[in-house]
Amino acid sequence: MDIDVRDKIYIDGAWVASTGTGTLEVVDSATEQVMATIPDGTAEDVDRAVKAAAAAFPAWAATSNEERAKYMTRIGEALGARMAEIGELITHEVGMPVSLAVPVQAGLPIQAFTDLAGHMEAFPFEEEVGNSLVVREPIGVVGAITPWNYPLYQIALKVAPALAVGCTVVLKPSEVAPINAFILAEVIDEVGLPAGVFNLVTGVGPIVGEAIASHPLVDAVSFTGSTGAGKKVMIAGAETVKRVNLELGGKSANIILEDADIATAVGTGVFGCFLNSGQTCSALTRMIVPRSKLEEVEAVAVGAAAGFPPGNPQTEGVMIGPLVSAIQRDRVRNYIKAGIDEGAKLLVGGPDAPEGLDTGYYIQPTIFSEVTRDMTIAREEIFGPVLVIIPVDSEEEAIEIANESQYGLAGSVWAGDPAHAEHVARQLRTGQVDINGGQFNPSAPFGGYKQSGNGRERGRWGLEEFLETKAMQR
């Protein structure tokens, strides 16, 4: 593969050189070969981008909602024309098998742009409250800092609604999977978005991310990533009392009750844990089950795991590719070793590389059983294809264990009686819950309780994140 050399960033409607001289390498997760290079941006780059966004804000905010929505639709359609290319690219960047990457990694971002016109039309931007006219106005310049696991989708969930409501944006994509962001910038340039409305600065978090979060002309920061990094963004943003929206880590519980369909619940749960090689913040990584059903659950889980042999993500039928990087692979291996050392029962997998896959950042899909609530693998976010099965003696204990996590991003409940499942779901302290395998809804709000963050993305809730409220008494 030829190396894709990206030597410019996008500021004020033009591709310009960074003020720095460094470059960052982007590595193909399956081959361990350098696939691209990008500028290692600087705080000076951020300052230029933020000032361009601030200058562009008044005119962009003054355009009509309808006009901005049309721009978003055009961006979505232009991304759609490059859907196969984007899916293939993100397969190389992240490792998700291409058969999944095209509909998920490329399809969801396209939908995030094209769906906005409908959400904008239905949104109450103005309402009468007594003698007041209450209006919702764009907050200003938005700094978007995004992760590598669903790189373009996480970008779209911030950039699309922010632009749609009249904000201007400075984006820092993950340096691990950044080339998809360059494609978005190319598309935005092609559709003719006014100069300064969207800006792209690449680089590392401690420099570019820190500069965005602390810049006095940035009115709001939207960050998705680890809880530790999110705390640093919040501290940096506090200096200027800017709004900081965070979507952070998770350790989501999948509660399977006594009368659930075990085969369906466990099989679906294994897939929900292993999707994208477990590199999903809302992955259902804790399967909490009745002790009386443990043997049955283990058998189904082992059988389901056999359907997920890791392999080259370009190969048809492969469901699990490599992890994104050597750092991530080693991190997950260490968690698996910790599970073994702390006495969890290893059902399948382990810390060694899968047979025949010594090149690439591959990990064996791993399932532990007889996990106790105090074990490291039961408490900390692993971010790899590692499922822990926790047996409990009552429904109350299941709910207690689900809620004792520092996180509260997602969850799932399975029961023979849907009303019973909903009763349990209402007791979970988490931002979303799937009931008996409820389907993914891209218009439903997404975000977390506790240390999984604050704020919500998607649908009309995603628009609200980038609006201020003004009351005018008459």
Active-site positions? 247, 281
Residue 183: C-alpha distances to residues 4, 9, 75, 437 (Å): 12, 12, 11, 34
Instruction: For residue 448, give the amino acid letter.
Output: G
User: Alpha-carbon torsion 109, 114, 118, 119, what sign?
Assistant: positive
Rounded Cα distance between 54 and 49, Å, is 9
Rounded Cα distance between 329 and 279, Å, is 11
User: Alpha-carbon torsion 228, 229, 234, 235, what sign?
Assistant: positive
Instruction: For residue 80, give the amino acid letter.
Output: G
**Pairing, β 453-454 against β 366-369:** unpaired
298-324 b/e (C-beta count within 10 Å ≥ 16 → b)? bebbeebbeebebbbbeeeebbbbbbb
Rounded Cα distance between 446 and 150, Å, is 14
Provide the angle, in degrees to the nearest 10, between the axes of the packed helices 151-165 and 179-191.
30
For 420, other C-beta atoms within 10 Å of its C-beta total: 17
Rounded Cα distance between 360 and 180, Å, is 21
CA 212, chain centre distance (Å): 19
DSSP 265-291: HHHHHHHHHHGGGG--TT---EEEEEG
Closest to 472 measured CA to CA, from 178, 38, 128, 219 = 128
Rounded Cα distance between 319 and 215, Å, is 42
What are residue 316's phi and psi, to 5 degrees? Answer: -60, 135
Rounded Cα distance between 386 and 342, Å, is 15
